[in-house]
Amino acid sequence: MMIEKLVFYVFSALLIGSATMVIVSKHSVRAAFFLIVSFCASAVLWMLLEAEFLALLLIFVYVGAVMTLFMFVVMMLNLDKEAVQEKFVRYLPFAVLVVALMVGVLVFAVKPSHLGNLGYAMSTHQAADYSNTKALGMLLYTQYVYAFELAAVILLIAIVASIGLTHREKANNKRQRIASQLQATKADRLVVITDMGVSE
Amino acid sequence: MNFTAPDFLPAIGEMFTLGMICVVMLAYLFFDKQNRGITYFLTQITLLGAAVIAIALYSHPTEITFDGSFILDPESLLLKIFILLSSVFVLMYSRPYIRDNEIAHGEFYLLILFSVLGMQVLVSAYSFLTLYLGLEVFSLPLYAMIALRHNRPVCQEAAMKYFIMGAIASGFLLYGMSLIYGACASLNIQEIVSMMSLSVNSQPMMLTVGLVFIAAGALFKLGVAPFHMWVPDVYEGAPNAMTLFIATAPKLAGFALLMRLLVEAMPALFPQWHYLLIAVAVLSMAIGNIIAIAQDNIKRMLAYSSIANMGYMLLGVIAGTPRGYGSAMFYIIMYVVMSLGAFGIITLLSRKGFELEKIDDFKGLNTRNPWLALMMLLIMFSMAGVPPSVGFFAKVGVLESLVQADIVWLPALALVFAIIGAYYYLRVVKVMYFDEPLEKTPIIVESFDAQLAISINGLAVFFLGIFPTAMIELCQKAFLV
């Protein structure tokens, strides 16, 4: 029990620290790395709750795939650091105001008495043959099957929309048009200039 | 774990739509080059087929399935029928526009189908989870659709603005839902209703704050003041065919969202949302009607008019009686029919390389195409609420339900704003009939189905105004249990 508590506090602190670094870090690549750290820390917290499927998903999908793409995009974009910093300072008072307001409303609404851990039982340990993956699957494909299918539709929309928005003829496209290349005749390509005063 | 298979019959319309979306997608991929019309016709068949299914299910008793996340009731079916039929008209109007402006037509039709699917899901959602998913399925295609016209930067800007604003609204909605979930420990509307009547006294603040966030998100989607900033910009920036779609069917879905979230899920908080909606309705009617006067861009003008009209619709919800909800539904359906015609004409009058945007572009329309001018006249009279038109009966319905609920000052105020609003609708009529045209050339609508659509649409506004009873009764019955 003691070790569990220790793990919980260490990784919670790590999560909060790295999440803060994501937003305050000046370098965007570094910020992305801190995001990876915070994903790993929250995966450990999931693990403590015996939700091993979600924990591994976070590592495999988010850290392994999404963040790799994300890093790629961040490096490609070559963000202007000065401009980002300038905006950060300019909007800071407004942002602080909004955050203070939201936190105020939340504390006012939820009341600090709800925030303690008195109202919630400690999570009990599951039996050794408990499978988190199976439990999730049972819920997803029975009770939440309708919502699950809708989530799949959203992915399909994303595919159609992103293909529709990016895959199209650009005005300065450099693609070869083979048909028109083959149809070109000598008369199209060659202009014979005769009256240059040069006789035969 | 015990599991009984849910009853799939109530959701057959959604399943049909999703199946046909896949068919349309494959047909567009493989057969579109040989036969350019095939995507269009399959899309229309999908929409009409789903509408037929909804009509066939109409006599089906109210049923809740999929573990309480789906409801089949007259309200959802009536809204579905109008969402589907209005989308059929949208396609008929926008087909020539899409062809002339070289917009990727397959993607356009597919995104419309996805959006319509989302709206179907949304109007018959009965838990917060499906409501939210339906909302996302219907709004994500809208954002992409606006940006489809890639050679106009203004469209990209409008799409971006709509996307960011929509994301913020979704965030608000989710935040509110999470607070309600915290207090009620359920996402099911049925369970929320019973839990809330128990906890409304012990945790009033948490529920109220949740309500405010949820209401903000839903009202944002409807586009009412003070959440209206995006409406004129998006209407103006989007290509005309897309504005036509955004201004019609999504309003019906937004109405369903509001009804399910406030009226059906939170009757215990009626006193709270009652005053909230009064403030929003008064603001919308004032801002919409007064700012619309100053517009010389017809799309912006109609955008402000939609803000005002949503304000009028809210009056029926404010009344808080089944009669009020019924007249609010009649109002919003009729608004969609009218706005379909108005934006339909704008889309028809736009040609290759010419976006009709200014009110001045309507100058002398009567001499250039008398039939279109007559249809626009009918629609504008109806929007202004001139007596024999359907807009008049819609306004009377909501105002009457308010008076019956003993709120008299609000209808009086609404009437004052309606009179102010009449000015800008009638100005369009004046411009069409009494001003000299900028160009003399007659306008010919080449596409037969667009001509047919506008004729049916304009005459529907006219005949529903003469015989409104059947439609009003249908809407009223939807809320009588």
pLDDT, tens only, B197-222 = 887 777 788 889 999 999 999 999 99
Hey, is the C-beta of A110 within 8 angstroms of any chain B C-beta? yes
What lies within 8 Å, CB to CB, of B41 at 6+ separation is none
**Residue A170, pLDDT above cutoff 60:** no
Are the beta carbons of A111 and B205 separated by less than 8 Å?
Answer: yes
- Is-contact B205 A111, C-beta < 8 A? yes
Mean of the pLDDT values across residues B332-345?
Answer: 95
Domain ranges of chain A: 1-79, 80-121, 130-164
Q: According to the model, what pLDDT value does residue B178 have? A: 92
- In whole angstroms, how far apart are CA B64 and each of B126, B127, B269, B374, B456? 8, 11, 24, 45, 36
In chain B, residues with a C-beta closer than 8 Å to the C-beta of A164 are 104, 107, 110-111, 144, 148
Q: Which residue of B6, B66, B104 is in closest CB contact with A164?
A: B104
How high is the ipTM of this complex? 0.91
Cis amide leading into B226 (omega within 30): yes
In chain B, residues with a C-beta closer than 8 Å to the C-beta of A151 are 133
Q: According to the model, what pLDDT value does residue B132 have? A: 96
| B455-476 confidence digits (pLDDT tens) | 999 999 989 988 999 999 999 9
pTM: 0.90
Hey, is the C-beta of A103 within 8 angstroms of any chain B C-beta? no
Q: How near does any CA of chain A get to the CA of B144, in Å?
A: 6
pLDDT band at A200 (very low <50, low <70, confident <90, very high): very low
- Is-contact B72 B57, C-beta < 8 A? yes
Q: Which two tokens stand for residue B200?
A: 């409304």
Hey, is the C-beta of B177 within 8 angstroms of any chain A C-beta? no
Q: How near does any CA of chain A get to the CA of B178, in Å?
A: 11
DSSP for A48-116, please give it. Answer: HTT-HHHHHHIIIIIIIIIHHHHHHHHHHH---HHHHHHHHHHHHHHHHHHHHHHHHHHHHHH-HHHHS
Are the beta carbons of B179 and A142 separated by less than 8 Å?
Answer: no
Q: According to the model, what pLDDT value does residue B158 have? A: 92
In chain B, residues with a C-beta closer than 8 Å to the C-beta of A110 are 179, 182, 206
CATH top class, domain A1-79: mainly alpha
Percentage of residues in chain B having pLDDT higher than 90: 72
